[in-house]
Amino acid sequence: MTAGLVLICLSGLVISTHTYWIHEKITGTTTSFCASDSLFSCDDVIGHETYGYAPVIGLPWGLIGMGVFAALLYASMMVQKEPDAPGRTRMLQVLMLFSGGGVPVILLLISYEVQIEKLCQYCSMAHLANVLVLVTSVRMFRATQDDAWSRMARADLSPHVQGQSEEA
Q: What is the pTM of this model?
A: 0.81
pLDDT tens-place string over residues 51-110: 878 888 889 898 999 999 999 999 999 998 877 777 888 899 999 999 999 999 999 999
Give me the pLDDT at residue 2, please.
84
Q: Please tell me the class of the 2-31+41-155 domain.
A: mainly alpha
Specify whether the CB–CB gap between 122 and 55 falls below 8 A: no
> For the residues 106-120, what does the mean pLDDT come to?
90
> In this structure, what are the phi and psi dihedrals at residue 2, rounded to the nearest 5 degrees?
-70, -35
pLDDT tens-place string over residues 5-59: 999 999 999 999 998 988 888 876 666 666 666 677 777 787 777 787 888 888 9
What burial class does residue 16 get, using C-beta atoms within 10 Å of its C-beta: 0-12 exposed, 13-18 middle, 19+ buried? buried
Give me the pLDDT at residue 139, please.
92
Check residues 149 and 2 and name the one with the higher pLDDT.
Answer: 2
